[in-house]
């Protein structure tokens, strides 16, 4: 058997094949849960699952790759599609399958594409972007005689050990407290002491925290009962300074033996300059609660990207792959085509990362973000870099930007970097009213990017080019930077 499916939990076998050997079709679905079928894999989903066809029915088959013929066991069915786990590779495809190097890849849900050669990952991510632009955005790409250029995905020379932040859920295992990542499609935690996409420093720090917590009998949070204390360990490592921050996310304010815990961690790990606590008592998958305090050391650590220094607080948004961040934001600056005379608005500015990149080339940059703590970080980052031509405001971009317009602030360029759900429709309308000559759209979700590009095209803009960037190798995620220009 090939792939990583051998250790998967079997699906529910209720409703197996009838005694006559053929499934009884229900509502036109030609398979039942537990049935073993053969299918050809014709594509990949956005989550990296193989797309198979069986008697006209679509099955998403985890660990299968395009071009392969596989045997799979059906684990769930729906009206339009079902899910299956691969049990055997019957026929190889394009030769893109490789042996995943991670020892827990069979169970961990952190990566989805380690079994695909990296060059093929980059090709697939570009095609994933193209498919969304065509299907959702109704755009015509240059591949098919259209005008929108979609460049090859910018990858990494060494696509391993790139994450400067680890966010590790804590729970109960057979031997007590465990910490790792969630199993794919499950809330079960897979114990992890080594992760090939994390920086080694993060591994060391998480391991030290778990060992200290076990030694002091600090109870792990139980997601079923809502009891226990330690929910997550969040670790940040600043590459340029070597500083490390630890955030203990707890189900309550009181940590037993808190100072002993800090002492044990500091004995094990050099470079720790900040140990913080975040309190989250809500029954929620959201990691952070509203209250954060420093248990020991500094409230921030400092890192640098492309010559710009950033203060990073426990809840700051800071890109986890610095090497690819330089490439992504460098492309945003290139697409903005700044000469030094322009006024730029950076919507969804976060902690001001893109704003400060832009400020080095623009006359004036205005950043807006709805999260007050992020704006505090942005202002602090501007101060520590001596950048005086960047101004930041708290509030919804669609509210703040018209106010700026009434004050005589007319943008030549608007840059947006929204969350996965894409731009708020009101913000799209606001941008169309402001009519900048260029819009630079940085996206972490090709489907919502395509949707929003369609709205902007209908509003008088033309999509010129799209640059995919592989910020998260070996996962199904891809970031894009897109350039739009006003048609007239």
What residues are labeled active site?
A: 444
* DSSP string across 194-227: --TTB-HHHHHHHHHHHHHHHHTTPPBP-TTT--
Crossing angle (nearest 10°) for helices 258-268 and 200-215:
140
SS3 486: strand
Closest by Cα among 428, 435, 422 to 398: 428
- Identify whether the C-beta of residue 263 lies closer than 8 Å to the C-beta of residue 257: no
Report yes or no: 209 and 233 within 8 Å, Cβ to Cβ.
yes
CB 428 within 8 A of CB 401: no
Q: Identify the DSSP state of 472.
A: S
- Closest-CA residue to 220 (of 186, 169, 183): 169
SS3 call for 300: coil
Alpha-carbon 53 to chain mean position:
29
* Distance in angstroms (rounded) separating the CA atoms of residues 202 and 114: 20
CA separation for the pair 53, 69 (Å, rounded): 10
**How would you list the strands of the sheet with 230-237, edge to edge?**
189-191, 176-182, 165-173, 230-237, 244-250, 272-279, 291-297
Q: Dihedral through CA 321, CA 323, CA 324, CA 329, nearest 10?
A: 110
From 329, 330, 348, select the one nearest 431 (Cα to Cα).
Answer: 348
DSSP 142: G
* Numbers of helices and strands, H then E, in the chain: 9, 22
- CA distance linking residue 287 with residue 185, whole number of Å: 18
């Amino acid at each position: 058997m090939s792939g990583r499916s051998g250790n998967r939990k079997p699906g529910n076998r209720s409703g197996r094949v009838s005694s006559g050997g053929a499934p009884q079709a229900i509502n036109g679905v030609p398979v039942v849960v537990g049935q073993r079928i053969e299918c050809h894999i014709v594509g990949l989903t956005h989550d990296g699952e193989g797309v198979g066809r069986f008697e006209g029915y679509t099955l998403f088959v985890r660990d299968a790759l395009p071009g392969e013929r596989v045997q799979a066991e059906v684990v769930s069915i729906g009206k339009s599609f079902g899910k299956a786990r691969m049990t055997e590779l019957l026929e190889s495809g394009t030769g893109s399958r490789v042996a995943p190097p991670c020892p827990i890849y069979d169970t961990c849900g952190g990566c989805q594409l380690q079994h695909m050669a990296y060059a093929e990952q980059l090709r697939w991510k570009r095609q994933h972007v193209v498919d969304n632009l065509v299907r959702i955005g109704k755009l015509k790409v240059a591949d098919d005689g259209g005008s929108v250029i979609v460049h090859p995905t910018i990858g990494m020379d060494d696509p391993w050990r790139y994450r400067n932040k680890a966010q590790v859920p804590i729970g109960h295992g057979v031997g007590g407290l465990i910490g790792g990542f969630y199993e794919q499609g499950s809330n079960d935690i897979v114990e992890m002491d080594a992760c090939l996409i994390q920086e080694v420093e993060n591994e060391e720090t998480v391991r030290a925290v778990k060992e200290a917590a076990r030694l002091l009998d600090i109870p792990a949070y139980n997601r079923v009962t809502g009891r226990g204390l330690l929910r997550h360990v969040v670790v940040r490592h600043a590459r340029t300074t070597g500083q490390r921050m630890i955030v203990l996310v707890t189900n309550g304010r009181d940590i037993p033996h808190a100072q002993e815990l800090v002492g044990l961690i500091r004995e094990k790990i050099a470079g720790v300059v900040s140990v913080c606590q975040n309190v989250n008592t809500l029954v929620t998958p959201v990691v952070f609660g509203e209250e954060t305090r420093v248990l020991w050391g500094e409230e921030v650590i400092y890192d640098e990207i492309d010559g710009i220094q950033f203060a990073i607080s426990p809840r700051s948004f800071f890109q986890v792959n610095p090497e690819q961040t330089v490439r992504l934001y460098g492309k945003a600056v290139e697409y903005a085509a700044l000469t030094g005379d322009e006024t730029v608005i950076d919507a969804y500015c976060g902690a001001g990362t893109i704003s400060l990149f832009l400020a080095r080339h623009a006359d004036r940059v205005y950043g807006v973000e709805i999260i007050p703590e992020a704006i505090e970080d942005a202002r602090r980052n501007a101060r520590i870099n001596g950048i005086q031509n960047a101004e930041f405001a708290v509030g919804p971009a669609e509210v703040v930007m018209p106010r700026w317009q009434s004050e005589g602030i007319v943008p030549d360029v608007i840059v947006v970097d929204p969350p996965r759900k894409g731009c708020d429709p009101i913000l799209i309308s606001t941008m169309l009213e402001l009519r900048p000559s260029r819009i630079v759209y940085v996206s972490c979700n090709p489907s919502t990017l395509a949707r929003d590009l369609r709205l902007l095209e209908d509003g008088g803009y033309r999509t010129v080019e799209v640059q995919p960037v592989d910020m998260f190798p070996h996962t199904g995620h891809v970031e894009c930077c897109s350039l739009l220009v006003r048609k007239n």
